[in-house]
């Protein structure tokens, strides 16, 4: 990935790859959540899951932009904002799954 042969460490690239995998995992986890919500006639949860899926797709793109920033050694870039955004989508997916499971279990 890095075309700088004298770069001491590849930690920023590994971090960006890890957050990209997390965003893709959140997207994959949201697909069954939306499908189950649609099949069990819970349109509000399906719409919320679909919105979270859209946000996750945007976040995958923002992490992709991070790879371009890694090639620019003249400025420092903070990965904090994409990390927070991906964490929020992951938490939303988890909460949505729990809510869907509890409401399906209760009736």
Structure confidence by residue, pLDDT tens digits, 46-97: 888 888 888 777 777 776 666 666 666 666 666 677 777 777 877 877 888 8
Sketch the domain layout of the chain as residue ranges: 11-106
Distances (CA, A) of 2 to 19, 50, 58, 103: 17, 35, 24, 48
What pTM does this model have? Answer: 0.57
The string of pLDDT tens digits covering residues 6-17 is 555 567 677 777
Domain 11-106 part of CATH 1.20.120: yes
């Amino acid at each position: 990935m890095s075309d700088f042969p004298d770069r001491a460490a590849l930690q920023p690239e590994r971090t960006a790859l890890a957050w990209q995998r997390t965003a893709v995992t959140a997207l994959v986890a949201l697909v069954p959540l939306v499908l189950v919500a649609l099949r069990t006639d819970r349109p509000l949860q399906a719409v919320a899951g679909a919105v979270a899926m859209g946000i996750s797709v945007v976040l995958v793109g923002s992490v992709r932009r991070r790879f371009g920033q890694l090639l620019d050694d003249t400025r420092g870039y903070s990965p904090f904002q994409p990390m927070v955004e991906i964490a929020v989508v992951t938490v939303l997916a988890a909460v949505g799954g729990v809510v869907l499971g509890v409401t399906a279990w209760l009736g």
